[in-house]
Amino acid sequence: MALKVGDTAPDVSGLLSDGTPFRLSDHRGATVILFFYPKDFTPGCTAEVCSFRDAYGEIAAGAKAKVFGVSRDDPASHRKFRETHHLPYELVTDDGSMSKAFGATWLGGLLPVSRRMTFVVDGQGVVRGFFHHEVLDIDQHVAGVKQVLGTLA
């Protein structure tokens, strides 16, 4: 079951595209957008990462939020995906524990891909926004994030 608005986000960890460690608690004090997606270089996931790329200036600068895409792909795949699509934010490699902690798994984690879910976590570690669309309305994640960030300002 996915986390919901008002829940405390778990302190998850993974690897960034350059292989350095990522830990959610290292970003306390800042609003963090974590969007889980199934697979690098697939059409829906490419559309999603590019929608966050296109809105990044507004999200990061205006709201001072940090954006992280999360999937089970390895750091090398993430590095290539970032370079190919000129992503200004980091991608995090999940060994399955991040998606499980947030409830973004298929069949309890039996399938090695994440569900398409986005979470807005405030500076105190509380989930303030949650969006879930698998195929249709992928662009609604960015719209929802912007709306939640407006309420946090």
Kindly list the catalytic residues. Answer: 45
CB 125 within 8 A of CB 39: no
β-sheet bridge partners, residue 16? 92
DSSP 51-105: HHHHHHIIIIIIH-EEEEEEESS-HHHHHHHHHHHT-SSEEEE--SHHHHHHT-B
